[in-house]
Structure 1
Amino acid sequence: MANPAPFSRYEFMIAWRYLRARRAEGGVSVMTWISLIGIALGVMALIATLAVRSGFRAEFVDTILGANAHSTVYLPPSSITNELTDEVYTVAGTISDYPAVVERIEALPGVLRADPVVRGQVMASVSDRSNVAEVYGLTGEDLAAIPRVADPETGEGDLASFNNGIAIGVGMARELGVGVGDVVQLISPQGAQTAFGTTPRIATYPVVYVFSAGRYDIDRTRIYMPLAEAQSFFNREGMVDEIQVFVSDPEGVDALTVPLMEALPGGIVWTWRDASGSFLSALDIEDDVMFVILSVLVLIASMNITSGLIMLVKNKGRDIGILRTMGLTEGAVLRVFFLCGAFTGVIGTIAGVILGVLLALNVDSIMAGINWFSGGGAWDPAVRGIYRLPAELRGIDIAKAVGLSLTLSFIVTIFPARHAARMNPVEALRYE
């Protein structure tokens, strides 16, 4: 008579029966529940953490790409000597033939558009309130093409009136106490050139649009001004400070570095990866560290399976002896007790996946409740840059958590299962 195939139905039946311990074997039942709950909590924490980290990175990158250029081309500073005093001072590089540069850049494959921009720093003030601001001078059409700024759901005002005023971030509007229709005074230290030197330039502009880019630092410091007005205000008549480039594939923006430098001879290229690369690298390292730490927690929870199986083998010594005398092979006994541990790991993993997915889907609401309960200190956008804690469930993250949990659960069951399989049936029944 041929031996039954491995993992036959009777092996599953015996393993499932052993897991449902009777009252006299309550210790085994308790250890099984502890193992199951521990694995479920470990998998839940792993999935939720990976989802939050993925969501945070996606939100952070989206706020970068949604309100900033993918790549910036500019000329390096130059030195000028004052003929009267022989003093040498440095001036920022400017681009005078920017229409031709923009045309060459936009002709490059993969480039969506190139925006000439004038940049400068000013003091923005209203009555007794003031704040340092960074001004971006660009055309109304270019401003309307910036996704995070021109979003009608988060913005207030009319972008069509941009040529008649300025657009400011919601954070700056809150600090200055202004809204659409109010007037803001801008003061630039680099003003008009006179015989007595440079005098500050002061001008007032109505606020026609208030935007929220989703980034605390941008909303608190940025002002958009019409390009022609910015050229006049910052003494850049007929010139711009830089060309901001937007591409179809932001992740592959580095491939355009050389063509962009050729489009502006002597120019410097600064990509969004250069600006935020160190922070993104830190996030990647933190992801790896968190995965290792939580993997250790899952391993500790899985070790409870070993304790439970050792107790089960000890309590089932008589049964093992009887099964062996009935004809069960060592391999069959090993598989029975392996299935006992595997059942615990599989059920705990399934429960952990369900709990982890539910937690990840509701993490924004949960964090909002914690933030409200703690008085607003649990999530400070001034520190973290973004306004909320998002979560992004990815199949690869769930697969990593499931694979880790099942692998550890299966591995830790091998030792006690082998111990049960190698028990001598004569010794097991000697004192029965």
Structure 2
Amino acid sequence: MAQTPPFSRFEWMIAWRYLRARRAEGGVSVMTWISLVGIALAVFALIATLAVRSGFRAEFVDTILGANAHVTYYNITRLNDAGEPERLIPDYLEVAERLRAVPGVTRVAPLVKGQVLAGGRGRNAGVQVYGMAAEDLASLPRIADPEMGTGDLARYGEGVSIGAGVARMLGLLPGDQIKLISPDGAKTPFGTSPRVGVYEVVHVFSAGRYDIDSTRVYMPFAEAQLFFNRDGMADEIEIMLADPEDLAAVMPDLWRAAGNDGLFQTWQDASGAFLRALAVEDNVMFVLLSVLVLIAAMNIVSGLIMLVKNKQGDIGILRTIGLSEGAVLRVFFICGASVGVIGTLAGVVLGCLFALYIDPIFALVNGLSGGGVWDPSIRGIYYLPAQLHWDDVLTAMGLSLFLSFVVTIFPARRAARMNPVEALRHG
């Protein structure tokens, strides 16, 4: 008798009849649906988690790189004339020029920093003042973005720019006055007197990070030098790079340009612990959700074992009329694999839709729960981000299909090796 090619039309026909058969006909359609829904939900959960993971890291890194220095230059600690340790940079203009000449550096900005008490409308809050030149502030994308701020940044030289969180805590709007009080003021025979300054709020920004928006105030560089007693000096120098992810290519040149008095801190140094924790969490979540996919795939085994048991008589008849073991194996493999493929595709569609429409979905959940689902003071960012990467989708799809195909082989193999006589006897 001529051998039929594998996965012939009649094998697909038999498998399809078994899949859609009702329980009264010896089918297990309910178990088929349970298996299919389980696979779909597991793949959906895996893709949604991978998308949120990618979006969270991208948003976190983007807010760091959009509002903070990629690399920060400090002077080594020295003793001043009064015998007190300090790290001020007296020759910041010369150092800035040397650093600006390094290939890959796009921006260099001297900076004066200090912590002060801010007051407005009878409220007080601790803030950190960044003294920065107007042209340097305008080059920070997250601060200067007109869509994320209010007021007029062009008037920065006439006042200060404050974070949206600071404005909210103090009840301030552009045009209001903010009082800044520094404990390190003028030295008198009776001790150090606090320095008090009153400035107009000309701009309110939102960097997308709660910890930045609720603590940061930008002041013109020359005014900050005067306010913090930094006459002719800077506290540090901010450096922006063309490719902040590729620090290894730029750092050797920066060290050479800095000389013996300089120290550097990169954005990865400052946020490295969080990024490493995020990577560990990503790996753990992927493993746990992969186990969830495996558990869902095991439902296919349960359904297929029941199908084989109910179809013992059919198997005996098929073997008697000439079907080979391989043909029987392929019939039941098609049954199990079809459930895995359909469930996987459904999960991929649901996961992609979730990632693409996460904002309205999240708004709906937040509305139904009465608000307060997402606390930016704890999460650090204002919304739940999601970023769909096709390699994550392909990874989830490949994992689900692989597990579905593998677990299907065992009950299909058992059906193929069934003795025709015993199958007819017990069918």
TM over 0.5: yes
Query: Is 2:125 the counterpart of 1:131?
Result: yes
Structure 2 distance, partners of 1:254, 1:205, is 41
* Residues 320-365 of structure 1 deviation map (CA, whole Å, 9 limit, x = unaligned): 1121122221111111111110000000001111111112222222
Contact 2:102 2:257 in 1 (8 A): no
Q: Deviations over 1:358-406 (max 9, x none)?
A: 1222222222233333343311000010000011111011111101111
Alignment of 1:60-99 (within 5 A): 60-80=60-80, 82=82, 88-91=83-86, 93-99=87-93
Equivalent-residue separation in structure 1 for 2:239 and 2:44 (angstroms): 42
Query: Paired residue for 1:85?
Result: none
Looking at structure 2, the residues matched to 374 and 318 of structure 1 have their Cα atoms a distance apart, in angstroms, of 54
Matched ranges for 1:21-420 at <5 A: 21-25=21-25, 28-80=28-80, 82=82, 88-91=83-86, 93-265=87-259, 266-420=261-415
| Aligned partners of 1:73 and 1:260 also within 8 Å | no
- Maintained 8 Å contact 2:117/2:182: yes
1:8 paired to 2:8: yes
Amino acid at match of 1:270: Q
Cα distance change on mapping 1:159 and 1:24 into 2, 3 Å: same
Q: Is the contact between residue 121 and residue 171 of structure 2 (CA under 8 Å) also seen in structure 1?
A: no
Determine if contact 1:254/1:271 at 8 Å carries over to the other structure.
Answer: no
Structure 2: stretches of 5+ with no match in the other structure: none
Matches of 1:373 and 1:80 in 2, distance apart?
A: 60
AA at the equivalent of 1:301: A
- Give the whole-Å Cα distance in 2 for the aligned partners of 1:26 and 1:89: 89
Structure 2 CA distance for aligned equivalents of residues 209 and 144 of structure 1: 12
Separation (CA, whole Å) in 2 of partners of 1:372 and 1:319: 55
Contact 1:25-1:315 within 8 A present in 2 as well = no
Counterpart residue type for residue 264 of structure 1: A
CA-CA distance at 1:9 after TM superposition = 2.0
Q: Distance in 2 between matches of 1:371 and 1:68?
A: 31
**Which runs of 5 or more structure 1 residues have no equivalent in the other structure?**
83-87
Give the Cα–Cα distance (whole angstroms) in 1 for the partners of residues 255 and 371 of structure 2.
46
Asked if structure 2 preserves the Cα contact closer than 8 Å seen for 1:73 and 1:261, the reply is no
* TM-score (normalizing by structure 2): 0.96
The AA in structure 2 aligned to 1:325 is: T
Deviates most, 256-265 or 379-388: 256-265
CA distance 1:241–1:147, shift in 2 (3 Å)? same
Is the contact made by 2:308 and 2:415 (CA closer than 8 Å) also made in structure 1? yes
Q: Aligned pair in 2 of structure 1 residues 354, 108: CA closer, same or farther (>3 Å)?
A: same
CA distance in structure 2 between the aligned counterparts of 1:159 and 1:383, rounded to whole angstroms: 29
Tell me which moved more, 281-290 or 3-12: 3-12
**Alignment check: 8 A CA contact 2:22 2:28 kept:** no
CA contact (8 A) 2:344 2:401 kept: yes
Q: After superposition, what is the alpha-carbon deviation per residue over 1:300-323, rounded to whole angstroms, capped at 9, x for unaligned? A: 111111111111111111111121
Alpha-carbon distance in structure 2 between the residues aligned to 1:26 and 1:215:
59
Task: Encode CA deviations 1:73-95: one digit per residue, 9 max, x unaligned.
Answer: 1113323464xxxxx5322x111
Q: 1:78 and 1:95 mapped to 2: Cα distance? A: 11
Q: Secondary structure at the match of 1:249?
A: coil
For residues 275 and 31 of structure 2, the distance between their equivalents in structure 1, rounded to whole angstroms, comes to: 42
Give the TM-score taking structure 1 as reference length. 0.95
Paired residue type of 2:59? E
d(CA) in 2 for partners of 1:46 and 1:370?
Answer: 20
CA-to-aligned-CA distance 1:266-305 (integer Å, 9 cap, x gap): 2111111111111111111111111111111111111111
Query: In 2, distance between residues paired with 1:23 and 1:217?
Result: 59
- Secondary structure of the residue that 2:84 maps to in structure 1? strand
What secondary structure sits across from 1:393 in the alignment? coil
Is 1:426 paired with 2:421?
yes
Residues 419 and 26 of structure 1, relative CA distance in 2, 3 Å threshold: closer
Identity of aligned residues (%): 65
Q: In the aligned structure 1, how far is the partner of 2:216 from the partner of 2:235?
A: 16
Instruction: Give how far 1:23 is off.
Output: 4.2
Compute the displacement of 1:26 (Å).
6.2
CA contact (8 A) 2:19 2:27 kept: no
